């Protein structure tokens, strides 16, 4: 059996746990909105048309922020289409995902849903087909109390209180040639800086996110971030990161090591942002918003034949996730927490139906995909301060990432509540690993719980008929004695250890 060890010490602090780490993403794409969070004719719909069965799962998932309305969709979106009387809203062709947008759900509905859910809204602006004037009009509509043309229109539309949106994304993936209104880094940076300056004239307390690269594989990666930040550094707070992961060619070992690529991506963007800071002689540090991340089988999506019709809410990239996918999602959450000193916001893309932890059927049930569980348990158990953990682990060679540790881990410590949590992943495809954890620095006196997500079939999935096929289960191979813990982690598994501590 493989063996690994690590020490958890409260002195090894990274940063506070940021609740925005546990954000998600709702785009007008496929069935994320329509028959996802919003289905007025569903038996479980409330008076506003929101599915209450989905709402219950979103609360259980622990989502704190939601980015809206895109995504690629936003680069061709006229936000005015989605406000006012629903029977007067225009129906339009939606070019990004080749569908028909009814606009029955828009900004006011989204704001009402986030209020009901206790979720912070995060708004993306169209800097593809639109620009400065439309952005400041939208800000006035959303956030100004009243007494102006756009704010009074919001009030007349049934939203007397401002929506109070604090975090705004200045466009989406503008480096991508697929993007409506694709721009060069310099073109985009100039536009983003202009919009940011004007928005701050309205409200200097806004938090603004400049578009980074669509992924580390982009040929302009690195140069794009540098040029954009040279234009926007004084005007923005964040640079965005997007990345998706999938198993390719049956290479499960590399897929399980996806967190290693996420680590490298984050560290490269940090280095680039800090180089621009030095070049400009700036004092502040740019934070990172990893506002699209997930497992997404893009190779399947790109292999599909393009549609010739324009359907409403078609079934688009409804990936069905298996046990190994959930282990990877758990490992990616470890990477995000580990970099909490700079990654202070993140969005799992997306929330419902579209590469999502929650699935629904129109008029039917909602259920949890396998990936639901590591996200929900991390959101529920990560509290206080993130602690750096450096496992002493066996290393396995992978085809895509080279040598990668079998065990990855991070911990959080909340002395005020007398709790700590350790999040672990076993990336080995065929061997369990015994992990020994030195907890004497925490003075842990008992294991409150140890839940492991694993299935003997790494490709087992949850379905409508069997929604609990893959769920976290109590791991009984755990011992704690004299501050030293020993746990056996099965292959292809993700684990959360909850520890009880003496209160501070």
Report the alpha-carbon distance of residue 413 to residue 17 in Å, rounded.
9
CB atoms within 10 A of CB 249: 9
Determine the pLDDT at residue 504.
61
Concerning whether 173 is annotated as a catalytic residue, the answer is yes
The answer to whether the pTM exceeds 0.85 is yes
Concerning whether 481 is annotated as a catalytic residue, the answer is no
Determine the pLDDT at residue 305.
73
The distance from CA 282 to its chain's CA centroid, rounded to whole angstroms, is 29
**Strand 23-25 and strand 343-349: pairing?**
parallel
**Strand 407-414 and strand 419-426: pairing?**
antiparallel
For residue 350, whether the previous peptide bond is cis, meaning omega lies within 30 degrees of 0, is yes
CB atoms within 10 A of CB 256: 28
Q: Which of 94, 194, 261, 292 is catalytic?
A: 292
Report the alpha-carbon distance of residue 245 to residue 40 in Å, rounded.
34
Mean pLDDT by 10 residues, the chain (504 residues): 95 97 98 98 98 98 98 97 97 95 98 98 98 97 98 98 98 96 97 98 97 97 98 98 97 98 98 98 97 94 79 95 98 98 98 98 98 98 97 96 97 94 98 97 92 98 97 96 95 97 76
Q: How far is CA 138 from CA 83, 116, 131, 154, 329, in A?
A: 11, 22, 11, 10, 34
Residue pair 171/128 in contact by the 8 Å Cβ criterion: yes
Residue pair 377/423 in contact by the 8 Å Cβ criterion: no
Q: Which of 173, 225, 247, 419 is catalytic?
A: 173
User: Radius of gyration (Cα) for the chain, nearest Å?
Assistant: 23
């Amino acid at each position: 059996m493989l063996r690994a060890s690590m020490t958890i010490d409260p002195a090894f602090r990274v940063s506070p746990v940021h609740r925005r780490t546990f954000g998600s993403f709702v785009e007008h794409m496929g069935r994320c909105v329509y028959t996802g969070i919003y289905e007025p004719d569903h038996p479980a719909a409330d008076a506003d048309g929101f599915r209450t069965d989905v709402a219950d799962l979103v609360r259980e998932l622990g989502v704190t922020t939601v980015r809206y309305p895109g995504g690629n969709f936003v680069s061709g979106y006229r936000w005015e289409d989605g406000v006012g009387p629903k029977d007067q809203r225009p129906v339009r062709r939606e070019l990004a995902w080749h569908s028909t947008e009814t606009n029955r759900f828009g900004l006011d509905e989204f704001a009402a849903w986030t209020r009901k859910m206790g979720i912070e809204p995060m708004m993306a602006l169209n800097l593809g087909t639109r620009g400065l004037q439309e952005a400041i009009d939208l800000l006035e509509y959303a956030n100004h109390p009243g007494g102006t043309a756009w704010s009074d229109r919001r009030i007349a539309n049934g939203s007397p209180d401002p929506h109070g949106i604090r975090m705004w994304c200045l466009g989406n993936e503008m480096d991508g040639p697929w993007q409506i209104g694709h721009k060069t880094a310099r073109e985009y940076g100039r536009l983003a800086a202009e919009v940011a300056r004007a928005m701050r004239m309205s409200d200097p307390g806004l938090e603004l996110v400049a578009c980074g690269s669509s992924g580390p594989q982009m040929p302009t990666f690195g140069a794009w971030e540098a040029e954009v930040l040279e234009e926007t550094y004084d005007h923005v707070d964040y640079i965005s990161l997007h990345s998706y992961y999938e198993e390719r060619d049956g290479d499960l070992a590399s897929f399980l090591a996806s967190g290693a690529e996420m680590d490298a991506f984050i560290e490269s963007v940090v280095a680039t942002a800090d180089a621009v800071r030095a070049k400009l002689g700036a004092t502040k540090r740019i934070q990172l918003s990893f506002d699209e991340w997930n497992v997404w089988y893009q190779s399947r999506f790109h292999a599909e034949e393009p549609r010739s019709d324009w359907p409403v809410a078609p079934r688009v990239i409804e990936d069905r996730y298996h046990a190994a996918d959930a282990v990877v999602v758990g490992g990616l959450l470890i990477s995000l927490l580990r970099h909490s000193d700079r990654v202070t916001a993140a969005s799992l893309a997306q929330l419902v139906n579209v590469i999502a932890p929650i699935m629904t059927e129109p008029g039917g049930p909602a259920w949890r995909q396998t990936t639901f569980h590591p996200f929900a348990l991390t959101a529920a158990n990560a509290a206080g301060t993130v602690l750096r953990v450096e496992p002493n682990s066996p290393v396995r060679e992978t085809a895509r990432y080279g040598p990668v540790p079998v065990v990855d881990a991070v911990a959080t410590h909340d002395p005020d509540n007398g709790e700590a949590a350790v999040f672990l992943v076993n990336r080995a495809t065929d061997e369990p690993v015994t992990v020994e954890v030195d907890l004497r620095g925490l003075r842990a006196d008992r294991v409150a719980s140890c839940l492991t997500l694993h299935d003997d079939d790494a490709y087992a999935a949850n379905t409508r008929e069997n929604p609990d096929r893959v769920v976290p289960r109590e791991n009984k191979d755990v011992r704690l004695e004299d501050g030293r813990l020993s746990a056996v982690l099965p292959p292809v598994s993700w684990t959360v250890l909850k520890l009880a501590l003496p209160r501070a």
